[in-house]
Amino acid sequence: MKTTRSVILSTGASLPRRVVTNDDLSKMVDTSDDWIVQRTGIKERHLADDSETTASLGVAAAKVALAEAKLEPQDIDLIILATSTPDHTFPASATEIQASLGITHGVAFDLQAVCSGFIFALATADKFLTSGSHRRALVIGSETFSRILDWSDRGTCVLFGDGAGAVVLEAREHLGVKAERGVITTHLRSDGRHKGKLYVDGGPSSTKTVGHLRMEGKEVFRHAVGMITDVIKDAFAAASINASDIDWFVPHQANRRIIDASADKLGISRDKVVVTVEKHGNTSAASIPLALDAAVRDGRIKEGQLVLLEAMGGGFTWGSALIRW
Ligand code: ACO
C-alpha cells in the first residue's frame, strides 16, 4: 500500500488564437465538413501561428493551473512535459517552460509517448511524488502537430489540432481510506512492432529533417479499441471496481467513433464521457488535460469523483489512469 498519494490540485489550458473550421480546410484540400464530421466528429481545431509554440502554449497552460491551485512557480519541484513536437530537438521544451516560469530549482524534462504522452507523464510524476523524492509537479501536455502535418494529405491533416493542458499534482499522506483523493492506479503499455502504422517520416538521426506524420488510419482504428479496453480492465482489476463506479471517463480525443466504441465495449454510459474532439481535433498529448480542464471548469468533474483516463497513440503506446479527483 502506498503511504503517499499524488493529488491533482488544479488544471489549466491554453489554445492558439486561430480557429480553423472544416469548411476552411475544404478550401485547402479535397474534403468536406460532412466527411470529417461523419468519420471523426471533429468540427474545428485551433492552429498555432508563428508566435505560438509548444513551449509558449505549455507556459500559458501551466500559469493557469498554478493560479487555480493558488501556488507560485517556486512551489513546483518537478515539471514533466509530454510532447512529440518540441520547440527544439534539444534542450527539452520542459526546461524552456521551467525558465519561462522563473524556476531554477528541481528538475524538468520531456517525455515522448505521442498521444499517450499525458498518461505516461502523469504515471511518471505519480511515481516521483509517491517515492518521496519530489513534492509538487506540473504535468503538461503541449503540442503543435500542425508543424508536422503534410498539408497536402487530406487523410491526416484534417484530424489534428494544437494546444496545451496542464495539471498540478501534490504529494499528500495516504491514510488508506477508500474515498481518499489522488492517483489510484496507472497502467502503461507499448508495442514497437506497430511503428509503421503511425509515425513521422523524419528525425535528427535518420533523415536530419523534422518529417511529416504518416498514418494507416484503418489499421490504427482496428487496434485502438482493443488496446484501450484492455488497459482499462487492468485499472478496474487493480482497484477492484467496475464500469458503473466511474463518474467521468476522459479518453484521449482522437476520434468520436473510437471514443464511443470504447465506452460501449466497457459498458460506460455515454453521458459520463467527456468529449472535446469536436472543438479541438486530436491534440495528441494535450487532448486529455484539455478535456479535463473543460470538464472541471464547467462543473462536471467535482472533488471526490472517480475519473478514468485513457490514451492510445504512436508506437503503439497506450495507458490508463484512475484518479479520485
Ligand atoms: N476528406 C474526404 N475524403 C477523404 C479524406 C478527407 N479528409 N481522407 C480520406 N478520404 C477518402 C479516401 O481517399 C478514401 O477514398 P477512396 O475510397 O476513393 O479511396 C475514402 O475517403 C475512405 O478512406 P479511408 O482512409 O478508408 O477512410 P476511413 O473510413 O478509414 O476513415 C479515418 C479515415 C477517419 C482516418 C479513420 O481511419 C480513423 O478514424 N482512423 C483512426 C485514426 C486516428 O484516430 N488516429 C489517431 C489515433 S492515434 C493518435 O491519436 C496519434
pLDDT tens-digit readout, 289-324: 999 999 999 999 999 999 999 999 999 999 999 999
Best mutation site among 27, 34, 39 for ligand 1 pocket (most ligand atoms within 8 Å of CB): 39
CA distances from 242 to 1, 27, 126, 175, 325 (A): 21, 46, 23, 23, 17
Q: Which of 255, 262, 278 to mutate to test the pocket of ligand 1 (most atoms within 8 A of CB)?
A: 255
Average pLDDT over residues 135-140: 98
Segments in the chain forming alpha helices (H): 22-26, 33-40, 54-68, 93-100, 117-131, 154-157, 217-239, 256-266, 277-280, 287-297
* Segments making up each domain of the chain, as ranges: 3-174, 182-324
Q: Mean pLDDT across the stretch 157-182?
A: 94
Residue whose CA is at the smallest distance from ligand 1 atom 40: 217
Given a cut of 80, whether residue 1 has pLDDT beyond it is: no
Give the Cα separation of 94 and 111 in Å (integer): 9
Is 165 touching ligand 1 by the criterion CB < 6 Å? no
**What one-character-per-residue DSSP string does 142-201 give?**
EEEGGGGS-TT-HHHHTTB-EEEEEEEEEEEE----TT--EEEEEEEEE-GGGGGGEEES
DSSP β-bridge partners for residue 44? 21
CB-count exposure of residue 26 (10 Å: 0-12, 13-18, 19+): middle
The percent of residues in the chain predicted with pLDDT above 70, rounded, is 99
Span 55-59, average pLDDT: 99
pLDDT at 316: 97
CB of 317 sitting under 6 A from ligand 1? no
Sign of CA pseudo-dihedral 92, 98, 99, 104: negative
Q: What's residue 176's pLDDT?
A: 79
Question: Tell me: the pLDDT tens digits for 204-227?
Answer: 999 999 999 999 999 999 999 999
What integer pLDDT is reported at residue 19 of this predicted model? 98
157 is annotated as an active-site residue: no
Catalytic residue among 22, 46, 115, 157: 115
Residue 33: pLDDT band (50, 70, 90) is very high
Average pLDDT over all residues of the chain: 97
Q: What pLDDT sits at residue 236?
A: 97
Q: How many residues are listed for the chain in this entry?
A: 325
The CB of 65 under 6 Å from ligand 1? The reply is no
* Domain 182-324: CATH class, spelled out: alpha beta
162-173 and 136-144: which strand pairing?
A: antiparallel
Say if ligand 1 is within 6 A of residue 31 CB. Answer: yes
Ligand 1 geometric centre to CA of 221 (Å): 10
Cβ proximity of 310 and 252 under 8 Å = yes
Residue 136, pLDDT above cutoff 90: yes
Coil, helix or strand for 139?
Answer: strand
C-alpha cell at 173: 499522506
Average pLDDT of the residues in 254-278: 97
Measured between alpha carbons, how far is 305 from 180 in angstroms, rounded to an integer?
10
Structure-derived torsion over alpha carbons of residues 68, 74, 75, 76, reported in degrees to the nearest 10: 90
Note whether 86 and 110 are within 8 A (CB). yes
Confidence band for 248, pLDDT divided at 50, 70 and 90:
very high
Select from 252, 113, 223 the least CA-distant residue to 263.
Answer: 252
Distance (Å) from CA 173 to ligand 1 centroid:
47
Give the Å distance between the CA of 258 and the centre of ligand 1.
Answer: 13
For 115, the grid coordinates are 498521444
Same fold flag, 3-174 and 182-324 = yes
Which of the following is catalytic: 46, 212, 252, 280?
Answer: 252
pLDDT in tens, 85-95: 999 999 999 99
Is 115 tagged catalytic?
Answer: yes
CATH number of 3-174: 3.40.47.10
pLDDT given at position 2: 61
Q: Check whether 178 has a pLDDT greater than 80.
A: no
Residue 177: predicted pLDDT? 80
Alpha-carbon distance of 140 to 124, in angstroms, equals 12
Q: Is the CB of 43 under 6 A from ligand 1?
A: no
> What is the reported pLDDT for 175?
85
